[in-house]
Amino acid sequence: MQQKNYFIKALLATLSMTLLLSSCFDKHKSESEKISQNTTAVSQSQRSQTQSNPNESSSLKINTNYDYVMLEDKIGPNTKATVDYYMLALSWSPAFCDSQYDKYGKNLPPSAEYQCGMKKQYGWVIHGLWTQSATARSAAGHPRFCQGDLPPVDENVIAKYMNESPSPNLLQGEWEKHGACAFKEAQQYFAKQQELYQALNLPNKALKGKELFSWLRKNNPHLNGAYLGASRNEIYICYSLQWQVIDCPK
């Protein structure tokens, strides 16, 4: 009888120990899963935060007067010229900034301060998207200031596009001179030139002449066969009214 009781007690003790170990294991597993879920949630939150704020300039505070005064423009308006095609002008920023420092030294004008004065490194940036007339023989022959002298665009709109065109003065001026001849609102104009820019693969170093054009065509198949324009530190890509790449005037 005593032997039987001893056996039962031993069995109960073993069962209790098994249940205790199982409980500890389940608790540890639950805590591990909770930690894992929290870690995953943090990682997803960080990725989401990064993706939701890809453009640092969207929160930029513009501390300069960037209004463009039409009466001070050297060329002036042309509201009678027709819009026959578009030209996207891209500028090599390091060369532009070198010219600004050569001209002004450390006293950069407000229009160049953001692009050249801050510790930022820009490569190819948007100079502007220009409305062009097929019959023009000079800059004055193209459509300009079609909506007159416009008020400054809201700085929150300007700031959204300064990664590709890093000057509020430039964005405002290009909108008034060129964009207003084809778009009703500034944001439509800025968004379109940004779209065209982002569709391009651009070199991250200075290339000249044939080497530059060869690189562009090799890395942008949609530019193959089209005549591209160029000046000292700029390149020009032309588009039809349907936004197809076409030859620029020779």
- List the catalytic residue out of 33, 178, 185, 211: 178
Q: Which of 72, 174, 176, 195 is catalytic?
A: 174
Is-catalytic flag, 142? no
Whose tokens are 């050249």? That residue is 116
Residues 207/234, Cβ–Cβ less than 8 Å:
no
Query: Which one of 127, 142, 164, 176 is the catalytic residue?
Result: 127
Which runs of consecutive H residues, i.e. helices, occur in 2-154?
2-52, 93-104, 110-112
Return the DSSP state at 150. P
Q: Is 174 labeled as catalytic in the residue annotation? A: yes
- Rounded (10°) angle between helices 186-198 and 168-177: 110
Quick one: CA torsion of 188, 194, 198, 203, rounded to 10 degrees?
A: 160
User: Would you say 240 and 246 are in contact if contact means Cβ atoms under 8 Å apart?
Assistant: yes
The residue whose two tokens read 């032997």 is 3
CB 91 within 8 A of CB 125: yes
Q: Which parts of the chain fold into alpha helices (H)? A: 2-52, 93-104, 110-112, 155-160, 168-177, 186-198, 209-219
Estimate to the nearest angstrom the gap between the alpha carbon of 64 and the chain centroid. 21
Q: Which residues are catalytic?
A: 127, 174, 178
